[in-house]
A and B are shown apart, each in its own frame.
Chain A
Amino acid sequence: EPEVTQTPSHQVTQMGQEVILRCVPISNHLYFYWYRQILGQKVEFLVSFYNNEISEKSEIFDDQFSVERPDGSNFTLKIRSTKLEDSAMYFCASMGDNEQFFGPGTRLTVL
């Protein structure tokens, strides 16, 4: 069964460093998303991506964040200068018709 994959599963970084989180969505899906979940809190929408451009972004998704689909399979989230409060689980999701399918997540720890 097709699934969304994410790498790495865990990323530890120093405050101020850049990180890139990678996702491979389900191959025939056209809509892509990033969500995050701070420990003990809700899953929160960050950004949606369709037709090679951002279609919506939340207030969380400020200038430190960017997304890219560099080729036909990968979808990346870059955080330019990480802050302590960026520590969270980051989930990639993709959607074909109506349902969003989530990847296993990347746990980002900012020290």
Chain B
Amino acid sequence: EDQVTQSPEALRLQEGESSSLNCSYTVSGLRGLFWYRQDPGKGPEFLFTLYSAGEEKEKERLKATLTKKESFLHITAPKPEDSATYLCAVRGASGGSNYKLTFGKGTLLTVNP
């Protein structure tokens, strides 16, 4: 069974203070690791897909990296509007052609001005 563990559960940063969020995973044949942003009461918003170890993706102040066991979401010089819950999800080979996602509990990021 695919498993995703995210840490820390919550992170409080000052504006401009860079940091990283961790996503550790166990999956039978990774078919994609996904990062989403979720604002309170809203649906997950797609950020990145990573497929193989060593791959990196960037978008504005966010950069996602992938190893064989974990992924990091690096946040450089965050702003208050980056405050949200960041979700990590995996798609494994056991899902076959159904492409279902297994999510972690998320990291609640708060950026103070």
Task: List, in ascending order, chain B residues with CB within 8 A of A62's CB.
Answer: none
Write out the residue numbers on chain B whose beta carbons fall within 8 Å of the beta carbon of A65.
Answer: none
B45 at interface, CB cutoff 8 A = yes
| Chain A residue at minimal CB-CB distance from B39 | A104
B42 partner residues in chain A, CB cutoff 8 A: 104-105
Using known A-B contacts A33-B100, A55-B97, A56-B98, determine if residue A42 contacts B43 with beta carbons closer than 8 Å. Answer: no
What CA separation (Å) do A51 and B89 show in the bound complex?
24
Min distance, Cβ B6 to any Cβ of chain A, angstroms? 10
Residue A103 is within 8 A (CB to CB) of chain B in the complex? yes
Given known A-B contacts A56-B96, A99-B34, A45 and B101 have beta carbons under 8 A apart: yes
The answer on a CB contact under 8 Å between A56 and B43 is no
Interface size class of B (residues with CB under 8 A): 20 to 34
Q: Interface majority SS on B: helix, strand, loop or mixed?
A: mixed
Q: Within residues 86 to 111 of chain A, which ones have a CB less than 8 A from any CB in chain B? A: 89, 91, 95, 98-105, 107
Question: Would you give the shortest CB distance from A5 to chain B, in whole angstroms?
Answer: 10
A100–B102 contact, CB under 8 A?
Answer: no
The total of chain A residues at the interface (CB under 8 A) is 26
Question: For B46, what are the chain A residues with a Cβ–Cβ distance below 8 Å?
Answer: 99-102
Q: A33-B100, A45-B101, A45-B102 are in contact. Are A56 and B95 (CB under 8 A)?
A: yes
List the 3 closest A-B pairs by CB distance, nearest first.
Answer: A102-B43, A56-B98, A43-B103
Residue numbers of A with Cβ under 8 A of B are: 4, 6, 31, 33, 35, 41-45, 48, 50, 55-56, 89, 91, 95, 98-105, 107
Q: A42-B106, A89-B41 are in contact. List 19 more A-B contacts (CB 8 A).
A: A35-B101, A42-B104, A43-B87, A43-B103, A45-B101, A45-B102, A48-B99, A55-B97, A56-B95, A56-B100, A91-B43, A98-B49, A99-B34, A99-B49, A100-B46, A101-B46, A102-B36, A103-B43, A104-B42
